[in-house]
Amino acid sequence: MQADEILQEISDYCRRAGLAESTFGRRAVNDGKLVSRLRDGGRITTVTLDRIRTFMHDSVPASRGVVIQRPIPPRPIISMPPAPLAEDEGDDPQKNFRFFDNRQKYLLFVNTCGEKSVIANRVGMELGNIHPRPPALRVFDAGVGDATVLSRVMRAMHERYSTLPFYIVGKEISLEDVRLALDKMADRFFEHPSTVLVLTNMYYSEAPWLTTHSREAASSMVWHELALTGNSAFSFESQISALQPFLADNWKARVSPKSGNPVYERPVVLVIYRQDHRFLLDNIIPKRGATDANYDLVMASQPYRLRSSVDFKAKKVIAPLARALGPGGRMIGIHSRGDDPGQEIIQKVWPGDNPYTQDRHAILRAVKNELGTAGRDLNFNAYADNRSIFRYDMHTLPSEISAESGSSIGTSTLFAAWNAAIYVSQVEDDRLSAVVTDDRYLQATREVLQKHGGLWFNDESYVISRKRD
């Protein structure tokens, strides 16, 4: 018997019985380090195996639930986690708030502020710390958006690992974002032909494995492969653009009555690769119902709402992503920090309002608590402020904003700065309607811009890494 099989049996038993693995070892074979030795590659005799099996058979837990058997990946600790509540459930104080779905605010923000390029550079720093293993460098993007960050990171990946196959999975619920993301991919397939790109609309607890927890959702899953033909970016772009009717028909979301969040109507998996590299990529292209996580790099940039509870962030978002890391893999999490001129604008309009109540330290503590024993081989790295915290600016002309400019700051600049401030702070639309009836919000924005000679925002990052074998 393989060690991973007996480890899975022990793990299932301990979960049902409510036992720690060390307690199990002591009761079964009088060895509290039994399980840890097995995880480290230790072996046991057939006599010991018989004692373990006898103990589990004779000591049946009082309450036995239904055990769902799933394919066991090569590294047992990285198997798909038990099904949690759906992402749209749970205690989320921002019910019915979908600020990030406002396309106008989003597009104005990303085109006037440099956050995306700065984040891509920060993520690129992690490429030097990962240790890819055959058959591919595996990357998961926990929120593709319009793929501004992902496409930049893919360029950096090609620069560093030009000869390695890439397996890239991206989660995105928004149809419009998927369209914008695909627009950027033709050049990536041309420059790096040994690329497998997967886009999906599944939950955080499902997407890394491309597997749904719900039997009903699994039966309605749409799995679509596009094998690109030709050898030019123009040809690739034409074929990718031809996906628009497919996306419109299948990439649909509905609003959850519980939280107001968009959730998929049916799970969709879109797999894209080059036909002329099909032979090389055969063992990398995912197969329905038989996919592993084991990611070398997980990008989690702004994956949750600032005002969500720390337990929600840990349980529904970060913990599932941490479980998806392979040996030596690293997950970088990034979120807004505040303590910047953008927050000053918000404070002038809504005194005392502060959405930045949970820093990286609080989130890492909650994730570590949520993972429990499953996090024993993970490192939780908050780092010092000078490494973790970074800033990005709103683009303005050097002479456009100064103390001497007075009221001459252009209206478009004021509106762009106001939009950036409320976007980053995730202010709900119903709160906005009460303050935009006069120009006091623009005056507050003007005062902050003149005070600082511009506008910038602070993000902070943290890293969760899995130990190498």
Give the pLDDT confidence score for residue 136 in this predicted structure: 97
Give the pLDDT confidence score for residue 63 in this predicted structure: 42
Give the pLDDT confidence score for residue 68 in this predicted structure: 38
Question: Three-state SS for 244?
Answer: helix
Segment 434-451, tens digit of pLDDT: 898 888 999 999 999 999
Give the pLDDT confidence score for residue 90 in this predicted structure: 45
Measured between alpha carbons, how far is residue 102 from residues 97, 410, 439 in Å? 10, 24, 22
Give the pLDDT confidence score for residue 7 in this predicted structure: 78
Give the pLDDT confidence score for residue 161 in this predicted structure: 97
Positions in the chain short of pLDDT 70? 1-2, 60-102, 257-261, 398, 402-407
Stated pTM of the model: 0.79
Give the pLDDT confidence score for residue 86 in this predicted structure: 52
Q: Return the H-helix or E-strand segment holding 262.
A: strand 262-264
Q: What is the mean pLDDT of the chain?
A: 87
Q: Return the H-helix or E-strand segment holding 419.
A: helix 411-424
Concatenate the DSSP letters of all residues of 65-133 into one string.
-PPPP-PPPSSGGGSPPPP---TT-S--TTTT--GGG-HHHHHHHHHHB-HHHHHHHHHHHGGGG---B
CA 448, 450, 451, 454 dihedral sign is positive
Give the pLDDT confidence score for residue 185 in this predicted structure: 98
Among the listed residues 128, 223, 148, the one whose alpha carbon sits nearest the alpha carbon of residue 188: 148
Q: Which two tokens stand for residue 135?
A: 């058959």
Give the pLDDT confidence score for residue 85 in this predicted structure: 47
Give the pLDDT confidence score for residue 263 in this predicted structure: 86
